[in-house]
A and B are shown apart, each in its own frame.
Chain A
Amino acid sequence: MKVTAQPTDTSLTLVLDGELDASSAVVLDTELNKSELLKYRKVLIDCQRLSYISSAGLGVFISHLQRLQDSNVKLVFFNMQEKVFNVFEILGLDSLMTIVPTEQEAQAA
């Protein structure tokens, strides 16, 4: 799992590449734990190259969501592959998190 941060003035895009499991989730957790995240209005998660997610990966997002919301930082997922979206759906997380098809919609969300 590779995580690349792409900051702008108002948002931070984290580009995920690879498989997010109990072994690699710590990489993402480290990125989401950084205090500078809270200075952005949005954190966008580009999932185009995210080919797999397990509960450990979902848990990382869940564990940071309230902290981000409390700081008025919106977490938005985009470019999600169908099989990855399906994992969010199985648990009902698709209704609790903001997941949109494209980067343009993520920027507008």
Chain B
Amino acid sequence: MQDRIRISCSRHNLQQVRDFVRGFLLTANRSDLVVNQVVLAVDEVVANFIIHANGEDTNQFLDLLLVLAGQQLDIEIEDHGSTMFLPIGKTPNPDLRAYIQQGRKGGMGMALVSRIMDRVEFFERNSHTVCHLSKELL
């Protein structure tokens, strides 16, 4: 099964993205915990694209594609903005004690994504950034 959605680059659309991923996975009878983890991973990547890659420019948009084949979930998030955004390797193991001391707000999103998903890849396609997430749902 597969489904897709297109959103403009506003953080107010994050709820729509989460509802879309939840609906897709709940249809596939996945547990609440697993659904929440995957929803979180997608939310983090989409929020990064919206805020950091596109500066919340609502004229820009993202395409999300979810594909579930058996236990294998593949997710593709394509940013149609012109700025390349390749955050892989960024803060994979944040020092949270230091973050607390520094009063730091950000820097944990991609750590969550990499710990939840089996594979996280960012690459360029037709001058756009694409993020591919995959996970075997147990």
Contacts and interface: CB of A to CB of B under 8 A. Distances in A.
Interface of A: 19, 21-23, 52, 54-56, 58-60, 62-67, 82-83, 86-87, 90-93, 96
Interface range, B side: 20 to 34
B111 interface: yes
B36 A52 contact: yes
Interface in B2-23: 11-12, 14-15, 18
Most chain A beta-carbon contacts within 10 A, residue among B11, B32, B107: B11
A56 B104 CA distance: 11
Given A21-B15, A83-B32, A52 B39 contact: yes
A83 B43 contact: no
Contact of B96 (A19, A21, A56, A91): A91
A86 B105 contact: no
Most chain B beta-carbon contacts within 10 A, residue among A62, A83, A91: A62
A21 B36 contact: no
Interface in B108-134: 108-109, 111-112, 115-116
Main secondary structure of the interface of A (DSSP, over half): helix
Nearest to A90: B115
A55 B103 contact: no
A22 B14 contact: yes
A86 B97 CA distance: 19
A96 B97 contact: yes
Given A52-B18, A63-B103, A92 B109 contact: no
Contacts of B15: 19, 21, 23
Given A19-B18, A22-B11, A56 B47 contact: yes
A90 B43 CA distance: 16
Interface string B40-76: 1001100100110000000000000000000000000
Contact of B108 (A19, A21, A23, A91): A91
Contacts of B104: 59, 62-63
Contacts of A58: 108
B100 interface: yes
